[in-house]
Amino acid sequence: MEMNQPAPPNALDQNRQGLIGKPLDRVDGRLKVTGRAPYAHDVKEGAKPLYGWLVEATIAKGRVSGLDTQAAEKAPGVVLVMTHRNAPKQAPFSLEGEDRFARPRPQLDSAQVQYYGEPVAFVVAETLEQARAAARLVRVSYAAEKGDYELARNITKAEKPKSSEDREPDSAVGDFSGAFAGAAVKVDATYTTPFHIHAQMEPHASLAWWEGDRVVVHCSSQLLESAQKCVAHTLQMPEEKVRIVSRYIGGGFGGKLPIYGDVILAALASRQLGRPVKTALTRQQMFHVTTHRSDTIQRVRLGATREGVLVAIGHEAVSHSARFDDFYETAAKQTRSLYAAANRMTQQRVVKLDLPVSDSARAPGEAVGLLALECAIDELAHQLRLDPVDLRLRNEPKQDPEKNVPYSTRQLVQCMQEGARRFGWNKRNAEPGQVREGRWLVGMGMCASTRGNLLRPSQCKVQMKSDGTLTAKMSMTDIGTGSYTIFTQIAAEMLGLPPEKVNVQLGDSDFPPTAGSGGSFGAASAGSALYDACENLRKKLAQGAGIDPAQARFEGGKVSGAGKTATLAGLAGASGIEADGEVKPGDMEKKFSQQAYGAQFAEVAVDMDSGEVRVRRVLGVFAAGRILNAKTARSQALGGMIWGIGNALHEEAVVDARHGFFVNHDLGEYHVPVHADIPAIEAIFLPEVDDKTNPLKIKGVGELGISGAGAAVANAIFNATGVRIRDYPLTLDKVLEGLAQQQANAGAPPKA
């Protein structure tokens, strides 16, 4: 099916069994908590594996000038030391193709070093410990070159990135410059955000072996079709000769969208040695071998009337990419649709640096873009002496202000109003620094949240078996978000089965292709393909029972209608009945602006002596279409909000500007929130059904919670202290500096 018109009423709307929206426990939960869910490194299929270990470059730019592998080759258990001198030929890296995750990713293909941590050798041995020990014996010398590692110092080298179908770097409506210059009230502020690391619970790992001329790879990958193409393109072999399996993934957040050196090198070594090769990255290696979120510099300009009506809105964002890559952080994209203003401008630029590859991290664009925009809106509200919620209400657009199409659904106003009511926003003191409890200054802040909604082509196959169970197969992955569970609910509701009678099989490229997990499009895309397959199966079963499909009722493992009843097991027969399903995006995504929305509120306390910030409570109210599972959706929203708090207060990967590497490359020094940092947090979803998005009438949930959350905390800190910090994270040294500046200004003589 193709989304060329609104989705009609269907079985999910009827929800006769009440499974849609039910807070069903995760169907894979018991496997996970008992340690029986096989993650990539746990897989024991195939023969006894060898173990590989990466040797990383210790310079950020230059070339390998000397290699001594003799000691490593003679070490106990070592069977191979692969370097650029003996690595098999692979396809060169290329920027061609719309799917950047399907590009060739050659390893050890030259003596050049493009970033710190790039693999320069791969040691394979009988045990992991032997491979690790031998890797330390590889001696590498370098001819280092001077590189560029800092965005701010290279801002003059910023260039316009290339356009693509869904990534246009610039937009313009009306006369922004003229309108901003003539505005009665203005905000012109620059915000900076640092590098962010995905920090998934499960490190990257892979196991590869060959079955004749076909390679089988178990790895931790969000996008199996892209991974399959990447391996095939790199090894210069047909795609059907590559099988990627990723049944369970311990978190992705975008960090498992690409394929990395562990997969390619394991596949190359396995082919050469004729044995399976298993490789795992250490936590420290992940900081350089895998991707990260780029740092950004963002200038936001707002011009408004004295009544608080925006007349000009401009957002310019600069991020970095690796020297050889083309990714950039689309930090200005949400500004194109969130608020009304007749005159508009967004501009995104990229600076090429000699750093590891930057790429998508949870809510690419919005997560950091809203840290700037929503603080700028708060600054404007303060200037105008308007309530921040009221200011946003005054600038609510009637349609998408740049696409000039209606919104599919938009409950941002309702989210803000309901959030304000539940949070007790009316008790907020609008004057900063006025609420004090002992040495703690207390404040409230809020922000609006938005995240674009996407639908991607996907397919599914379902089979009703003679035992009355339904099996569904898709290459879709579950990155910890609950895919297995919500697909079980969809299939069970469609066929009138109890959840225990549904067997969802995911994570294998031999299954029907899907878009995978990423961009919050996974549930909508793969779930819609599953819906279509179940709809087609319903028709077959009804017809087999002599019932008009339009009148068929599926319940209790039976189909009934027009006075007839038949069991699904009986209709399936000994060989079972199969049906295929498919979904494709269509005209709906062009005719309607599709986003999910939310409003987030935070209360913080700031120690006036130390500058310490304590988040006391956080509330998010969201509208994201139909909710498939109340429990998993809430969990996703809470996780995103917690990450947003981390963006505001904790997370910052620091680059050594002399040598181009991340200094704090472990979870001991790269700080993320812990339980003590999050004392009270809640997420609420407003009722909503969006028939313009997909047949499920849902929107993406996973990334909405992080979008803007940090700005609510930043605005609360300002309300508590009167200190406005525009450089994230908002650490205590910056708070103290602001408080000291306040005191200095208070004691300064008046200006002449």
Active site residues: 703
Q: Which single residue is written with the structure tokens 């009230």?
A: 185
Q: Which single residue is written with the structure tokens 């890559």?
A: 325
From 643, 650, 618, select the one nearest 734 (Cα to Cα).
650
Is the separation of the CB atoms in 60 and 148 below 8 Å? Answer: no
The encoded tokens of residue 301 equal 């300009």
* Beta strand ranges found along 161-226 (DSSP E): 170-173, 185-193, 205-211, 214-219
- Cβ-Cβ contacts under 8 Å for 369 (sequence gap 6 or more): 298, 315, 317, 329, 330, 331, 332, 333, 334, 335
What CA–CA distance (Å, rounded) separates 333 from 739?
Answer: 33
Is the separation of the CB atoms in 659 and 61 below 8 Å? Answer: no
Work out whether strand 62-68 and strand 139-144 pair parallel, antiparallel, or are unpaired: antiparallel
Count Cβ neighbours within 10 Å for each residue of 180-216 and write b for 16 or more, e otherwise: beebebbbebebbbbbbbbbbebbbbbbbbbeeeebb
Q: Which single residue is written with the structure tokens 């044995």?
A: 275
- Please give the distance of CA 111 from its chain centroid, rounded to a whole number: 33
- Calculate the CA dihedral of residues 204, 292, 640, 28 and round it to 10 degrees: -10
The encoded tokens of residue 108 equal 């050890």
Neighbours of 223 (CB within 10 A): 30
Q: Max Cα separation, the chain?
A: 94
Provide Rg for the chain, Cα atoms.
Answer: 27
- Cβ-Cβ contacts under 8 Å for 644 (sequence gap 6 or more): 367, 600, 705, 706, 707, 708, 709, 710, 712, 713
H or E element in which residue 566 lies: strand 564-567
What CA–CA distance (Å, rounded) separates 421 from 99?
Answer: 44
- Cβ-Cβ contacts under 8 Å for 570 (sequence gap 6 or more): none
Is the separation of the CB atoms in 536 and 579 below 8 Å? Answer: yes
Measured in residues, the chain has a length of: 752
Exposed, middle or buried, 38 (CB in 10 Å: 0-12/13-18/19+)?
middle
What CA–CA distance (Å, rounded) separates 415 from 331?
Answer: 23
